[in-house]
């Protein structure tokens, strides 16, 4: 294992990638004034950050599934210095803070602006049982972004402050760390994996769809782009549907509010991230298309209750088919003659009777044995996951 020392100079951008880095190396940074380090599709173990008393503003960008683990043995920065970690899509920042000073933690910012909803921040508090009132600042979270606090088993909320707690000591929960989160942001906390996942206000906007070149945000797809069908065959997009719904403006909000399917609810790593769909959007379960609302069990599959506007997307192929959304099989748009009702490009908001007369490539069920079997399967998956959930929304 080699210790590689890199000096970041004023206004200098340095890139580490497979051409100049091996995973067995460890990194020591010397930072001077304003500089940028890009971690591109590699794993980097950062052990030392040395500022030499010089005021600095260092940006470390994690791109293309680049990952950084901070295992501090020597971290010295000048007063007023700042380190900003910008987490990209499928990238993870891990800070094992050890005995890191609270002052240095307060000088650290974790920015999810470029994550595309696929960023992950893992934080181990300085000492389990030692409360940290000034943790790294977290900004620009998006739907799908995650924060893991190692050792946590529960959370609490006061205003827009989320606090993580360890198991009770002498009858009282042990406070580990607290974060300020944006007003109105929604989240899901899972004690089993010590992780909080942000769900924000636009539920389907930001959903990732499998394509021949990898997952792409549904709101980035355009007509003519190719997506992967159930058989992993590439098919071009014929039409993109989009519509924003304000729950306060509809008579029956539950007919429109999103259904959340948590990661693993339909199989190992299926979906691989929480998936949000409209209630009547069909999911392929046990060789049958079933509206998501008929699978709701209140735990692994539930409906989000919100008064915030939600934005739905849908895609249409040349023929009705199934695509991979967040790793789960979900149907494409099926034209029932209601395209003209979309003032914006449309959203799938079908009623069950209409769907019974539509021409679908796969069988669709609204009642009977197929529904019972699908619900039993979902229940068995919930038991396998053993997840107890706590869910809420910032005030």
Instruction: Say how far residue 372 (Cα) sits from the centre of its chain.
Output: 31
What percent of the chain clears pLDDT 90, i.e. is strictly above it? 25
Q: Longest C-alpha distance within the chain, in Å?
A: 73
Mean pLDDT, residues 29-52 taken together: 82
Residue 201 has pLDDT above 50, yes or no: no
Report pLDDT for 142.
Answer: 67
Report pLDDT for 346.
Answer: 36
Rg (CA), the chain: 23
Closest CA to 297 of 375, 367, 350, 223: 375
- DSSP-derived letter for residue 220 is G
Measured CA to CA, the distance from residue 315 to residue 208 in angstroms comes to 12
Residue 248: pLDDT band by 50, 70, 90 thresholds?
A: confident
- Give every CB contact of residue 47 below 8 A, 6+ residues apart in sequence: 3, 26, 27, 28, 71, 72, 73, 74
Measured CA to CA, the distance from residue 338 to residue 340 in angstroms comes to 5
Element of type H or E holding 384: helix 369-385
Measured CA to CA, the distance from residue 347 to residue 76 in angstroms comes to 53
Q: Which residue has the higher pLDDT, 229 or 179?
A: 229
Three-state SS across 50-89? Answer: ECCCCCEEEEEEEECCCEEEEEEEEEECCCCCEEEEEECC
Contact of 348 with 320, CB cutoff 8 Å: no
The DSSP annotation for 343-368 comes to: SSSP-----HHHHHTS--SS-B-SSS
- Give every CB contact of residue 371 below 8 A, 6+ residues apart in sequence: 290, 294, 365
Report pLDDT for 96.
Answer: 83
pLDDT in tens, 103-152: 455 578 899 888 866 788 998 876 544 444 456 788 887 656 788 988 88
Measured CA to CA, the distance from residue 270 to residue 267 in angstroms comes to 5
Residue 245 has pLDDT above 60, yes or no: yes
Within 10 Å of residue 390's Cβ, how many Cβ atoms?
14
Q: Which residue has the higher pLDDT, 20 or 184?
A: 20
Residue 353 has pLDDT above 50, yes or no: no
């Amino acid at each position: 294992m080699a210790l590689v020392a890199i000096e970041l100079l004023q206004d200098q951008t340095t890139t580490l990638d497979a051409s100049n880095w091996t995973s067995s190396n460890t990194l020591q940074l010397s930072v001077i004034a304003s500089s940028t380090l890009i971690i591109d599709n590699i794993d980097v173990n950062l052990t030392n950050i040395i500022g030499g008393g010089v005021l600095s503003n260092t940006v470390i960008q994690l791109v293309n599934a680049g990952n950084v683990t901070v295992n501090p043995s020597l971290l010295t920065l000048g007063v007023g210095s700042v380190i900003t970690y910008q987490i990209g899509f499928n990238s993870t920042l891990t800070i094992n803070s050890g005995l890191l000073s609270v002052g240095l933690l307060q000088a650290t910012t974790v920015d999810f602006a470029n994550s595309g909803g696929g960023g992950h921040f893992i934080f181990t508090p300085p000492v389990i049982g030692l409360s940290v009132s000034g943790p790294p600042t977290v900004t620009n979270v998006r739907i799908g972004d995650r924060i893991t606090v190692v050792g946590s088993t529960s959370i609490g909320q006061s205003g827009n402050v989320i606090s993580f707690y360890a198991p009770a000591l002498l009858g009282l929960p042990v406070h580990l760390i607290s974060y300020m989160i944006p007003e109105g942001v929604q989240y899901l906390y899972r004690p089993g994996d010590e992780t909080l996942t942000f769900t924000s206000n636009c539920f389907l906007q930001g959903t990732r769809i499998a394509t021949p070149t990898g997952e792409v945000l549904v709101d980035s797809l355009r007509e003519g782009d190719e997506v992967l069908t159930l058989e992993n065959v590439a098919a071009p997009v014929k039409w993109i549907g989009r519509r924003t719904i304000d729950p306060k403006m509809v008579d029956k909000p539950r007919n429109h509010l999103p259904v959340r399917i948590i990661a693993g609810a339909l199989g190992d790593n299926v979906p691989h991230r929480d998936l949000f769909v409209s209630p009547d959007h069909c999911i392929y379960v046990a060789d049958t298309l079933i509206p998501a609302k008929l699978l709701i069990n209140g735990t692994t599959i539930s409906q989000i209750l919100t008064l915030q506007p939600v934005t739905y997307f849908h895609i249409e192929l040349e023929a009705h088919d199934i695509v991979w959304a967040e790793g789960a099989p979900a149907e494409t748009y099926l034209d029932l003659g209601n395209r003209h009702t979309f003032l914006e490009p449309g959203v799938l908001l079908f009623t069950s009777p209409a769907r019974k007369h539509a021409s679908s490539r796969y069988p669709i069920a609204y009642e009977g044995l197929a529904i019972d079997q699908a619900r039993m399967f979902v229940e068995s998956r919930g038991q396998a996951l053993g997840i107890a959930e706590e869910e809420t929304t910032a005030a």
